[in-house]
Amino acid sequence: MALAASSPVQAMMPQSDGEVRKIDNAQGKVMLRHGPLRKLGMPAMTLVFKAADPKMLDGLKHGDKVRFTAEKLSGTLAVTAIQVVK
């Protein structure tokens, strides 16, 4: 299942690989184990991100391998695009 980006511009942003570790649909958050996020100056780690659009989390499940784009929005780390990789 592929999940869309919030906008076409965000779909062109650099993406990182990750694995879904936990999903909190009620809070609109997802925990990802991810590789380096060069754009944000972050090394590989496991981190909780807010979903820019909580609907992006629909259909995700623990263990899914994903490609995603993360940005700092209003001081919060947010996933702005995510898709499951088969």
Q: What is the pTM of this model?
A: 0.82
Q: What is the pLDDT of residues 49-64, one digit of tens each?
A: 999 999 999 999 999 9
Helices (H), 1-86: 8-11
- The CA distance from 30 to 34, in Å, is 12
Q: What is the pLDDT of residues 13-54, one digit of tens each?
A: 568 999 999 999 999 999 999 999 988 999 999 999 999 999
> DSSP state, 42?
B
Contact 72, 78 (CB under 8 A): yes
If one counts every other C-beta atom within 10 angstroms of the C-beta of residue 36, the result is 13
Map out the domains of the chain with their CATH numbers: 8-84 (2.40.50.320)
